[in-house]
Chain A
Amino acid sequence: MTLLKAEDISVRDGGTVILEPLSLQLDPGEPLVILGETGSGKSLMAQALMGTLPPELDAKGRIAIGTQVLNAGAPARFRGLWGREIGVLPQEPWLSLDPLMRARDQVAETHALVRGLPRGKARARAGADLAALGLGGSETRYPHELSGGMAQRVAIAAARAGGARIVIADEPTKGLDAARRDDVAALLLTEMGETGGLLVITHDLALARRLGGRAIVLRAGAVVECGATDQVFAAPKAPYTKEFFAADPERWAPRRHAARGGPAVVSAKGLALSRGGRTLFEDVSLEIFQGGVFGVTGPSGCGKSSLGDALLGLIDPARGTVSRRSGNHPNDFQKLYQDPVAAFPRKRTLGQTIADTARLCGARPGEIETLRDRLGLAPGLLARRPGAVSGGELQRLSLLRVLLRNPSFIFADEPTSRLDPITQARVIALLTETTERDGTALLLVSHDAALIRNTADTVLALAAPRPPCRPDAALARRRVASTLH
């Protein structure tokens, strides 16, 4: 029996159609994955199914859940389904739990208020739910005392305690480390079981592949491809799907290694860093060479970004030494930021900021234009402010700005973590090209091990602190620098 059937769901913003008519159905025990990049309309689809579209948007279509048939254009009626028929696993589960309430109470209130169990019974059920998810002993913790994965399990227990058989998960791996993706997939599949329904909205290809079932690929509000997930991945038909999948760092062709030449641009010996009294890592030694890409990866909080800052001299190491080759000028060590919007003066146009830099660096006339064309940037972008430019373009503009300095070393700190896969692939390609062409040394830091593995000449994998960081042999299987200990 089909749990949910949606027919011809479309969404309009005034006169423009932002989601073309789309039909789907959820069957027990078979996950449905909606895949797409930012702006593909995948979240709109989920919002239309839950009745949570912003009021200025218009939805059309019919949705049948159990015995009820609802009109997507009348979202008020969906409210009664929440918690009882549809459970929502929200993005960023940490922020979705009340910061002032203990974990068990957040689950127990669903049992009590939605299902109508008496208080004591609701608390007992909530305790049992949490224990079943491996959270026994954490019932009385507050959300800030839970890890991201634990918060997610609390959230799913709370979402389903009202008896919902269908789970809708919106970007469930957002903000989670790569290592946690498999746990999320396993959790979702277990919760679905044989009889439940599961709809997952994501841009995370690894998650989609792990979930299996059926998949719909969306682009710009229209369906590009659909079918069994395995089939879609094994033999994508649409050109966009092919490009989308090819942009997955897992599938990148490993980069050809650069020949190592000359003395190290920057090197560290026996480096240890600590933050807030806690040691991030110890005894890291490395050398980064001209024209080479040095990759650093590891889970969040392992100190990979701090390592880059220490190499730039922005923070002082707890122990060990950093030596930088004296370059052409004092400012030839540069940095690219995770959030490029925050790296530009907010209230100045990009053109002004870049012209200031060119003047400061004594750039040749026409150099800005040359670099702009090389990085594939439209001239009109320079008239805008940082907030009005897309992330991919802004990261390329950041690159343009540091290239005006003619740097000998660039530290790129998670430069693509906020970009869509296709844009990410382009930005990383530009970065490596620049490194090879200008003979710059590049330190590339990313949480994405596959990206680092397929891009860097040398890989340093840091582990989560305590136990102290050691380069992880499994991840660093590609010609790990001999200088690592």
Chain B
Amino acid sequence: MSVVEIHGARRPSLPLARMTGATLVVLVVLFALAGPLLVPGDPFAQSLMKALAGPEAAAPLGYDHLGRSVFHRLAHALRLSPLIALAAVATAGAAGLLLGTLAAAQGGWADRILTMLADALLALPGLLLVLIVLAILPGTALGFWAGLSLVLWVEFFRLTRAATRETLASPAVQASRLLGFGPAYLFRTHVWPEIAPMMLTAAAFGTATAIMAIAALGFVHVGMRAPTPELGLMMVELLPYWREAPLALLSPVLATFALLLGLTLLAGSRET
């Protein structure tokens, strides 16, 4: 009982944290979607005359080393990787949910093979898998989507499988079965209410992981290719000019941090 109380004592801060997280995410998304509408501009247009110049009306965050508007590149970058991340999380979530429920409900060989596969994937660093898939598939965005889906489904699968197994073995499900309820009812009233909150948490974490991966690989020049505006790529391009144009570097750094922090807070506390 006292363990529950300890966690209970921490609960009140959680909705606040989640609200803060949601606010941060909404702000970043709003900037990405509405920013270019308020201040029209082209993320690719170069003007070497303005290289590393400070902010002005047409480029509220100044210019990068090639004289491109950091504001518009950032807005573009903040649409690109979150979109890929969401697509990957949706795919991975659907696959993980389906396979996890299947493994838990069926048991036997289907369960054993899926678990073995998931365990093997768990041993591999996600970035490594993404890199290999990127090398196989044509098109970087497609590669990221496929690679990240491959990495992320494991978490959804493991959570779903564990929760479904536990729920299906519970007296509550046994009682419902004895009363004659069918599988659809069992899933709807017993399994889904247990999984749903976990799915939200895992989806927020998964989105953060995916955005981090895209940016990290961009940062070490093996992700998105120039001149695509991408968060990691922008940072590594602007790093040498830190002294001349600190704002140009700080903008993608702070935006990335705000987005990732928002997603982490939105995910809520969990032991990972």
A and B touch in the complex (CB under 8 A): yes
Total A residues in contact with B, Cβ cutoff 8 Å = 26
**Contact status of A343 and B175, CB under 8 A, knowing A348-B189, A356-B185, A356-B189:** yes
Q: What CA separation (Å) do A405 and B178 show in the bound complex?
A: 10
A342 interface contact, C-beta 8 A: yes
Establish whether residues A345 and B178, one from each chain, have CB atoms under 8 Å apart when the complex forms.
Answer: no
B residues touching A (Cβ–Cβ < 8 Å)? 170-172, 174-176, 178-181, 185, 189-190, 193-194
- CB contacts (< 8 Å) of B171 on chain A: these are 337, 339, 342-343
What are 27 contact pairs spanning A and B, CB under 8 A?
A312-B178, A314-B174, A329-B180, A330-B180, A333-B178, A334-B179, A335-B174, A335-B178, A337-B171, A339-B171, A342-B171, A343-B174, A344-B175, A345-B176, A345-B189, A345-B190, A346-B172, A346-B194, A347-B194, A348-B189, A353-B189, A356-B189, A357-B179, A361-B180, A401-B179, A405-B179, A405-B180
A331 interface contact, C-beta 8 A: yes
B165 smallest CB distance to A (angstroms): 15
**Cross-chain contact of B178 among A329, A331, A348, A353 (Cβ < 8 A):** A331
Residue-wise interface mask of A (411-445) relative to B, using a CB-CB cutoff of 8 A (1 in contact, 0 not): 00000000000000000000000000000000000
Which of B176, B190, B194 gathers the greatest number of chain A CB atoms within 10 Å? B176
- CB contacts (< 8 Å) of A456 on chain B: these are none
**Additional pairs, 20, CB under 8 Å, beyond known A334-B179, A360-B180, A405-B180:** A331-B180, A335-B174, A335-B175, A337-B171, A337-B175, A342-B170, A342-B171, A342-B172, A343-B172, A343-B174, A345-B176, A345-B190, A346-B172, A348-B193, A353-B189, A356-B181, A360-B179, A360-B181, A361-B179, A398-B175
Q: What CA separation (Å) do A331 and B176 show in the bound complex?
A: 10
Nearest CB to that of B197 among chain A residues?
Answer: A347
Establish whether residues A334 and B178, one from each chain, have CB atoms under 8 Å apart when the complex forms.
Answer: yes
Establish whether residues B179 and A331, one from each chain, have CB atoms under 8 Å apart when the complex forms.
Answer: yes
A residues touching B (Cβ–Cβ < 8 Å)? 312, 314, 329-331, 333-335, 337, 339, 342-348, 353, 356-357, 360-361, 398, 401-402, 405
Q: What CA separation (Å) do A353 and B179 show in the bound complex?
A: 11
- CB contacts (< 8 Å) of B178 on chain A: these are 312, 331, 333-335
Q: What CA separation (Å) do A208 and B50 show in the bound complex?
A: 91
B240 smallest CB distance to A (angstroms): 54
Q: Nearest 8 CB-CB pairs, A to B? A: A331-B180, A347-B193, A343-B171, A342-B171, A343-B175, A337-B171, A345-B189, A345-B190
Q: What CA separation (Å) do A353 and B170 show in the bound complex?
A: 16
B6 smallest CB distance to A (angstroms): 12
Q: What CA separation (Å) do A334 and B176 show in the bound complex?
A: 10
Q: What CA separation (Å) do A356 and B186 show in the bound complex?
A: 12
A445 smallest CB distance to B (angstroms): 14
**Cross-chain contact of B193 among A329, A345, A360, A398 (Cβ < 8 A):** A345
Establish whether residues A345 and B179, one from each chain, have CB atoms under 8 Å apart when the complex forms.
Answer: no
Q: What CA separation (Å) do A331 and B179 show in the bound complex?
A: 6
Q: What CA separation (Å) do A447 and B172 show in the bound complex?
A: 23
B163 smallest CB distance to A (angstroms): 12
A473 smallest CB distance to B (angstroms): 33
A57 smallest CB distance to B (angstroms): 14
Q: What CA separation (Å) do A330 and B179 show in the bound complex?
A: 9
Q: What CA separation (Å) do A441 and B170 show in the bound complex?
A: 25
Nearest CB to that of A348 among chain B residues?
Answer: B189
Establish whether residues A402 and B193, one from each chain, have CB atoms under 8 Å apart when the complex forms.
Answer: no
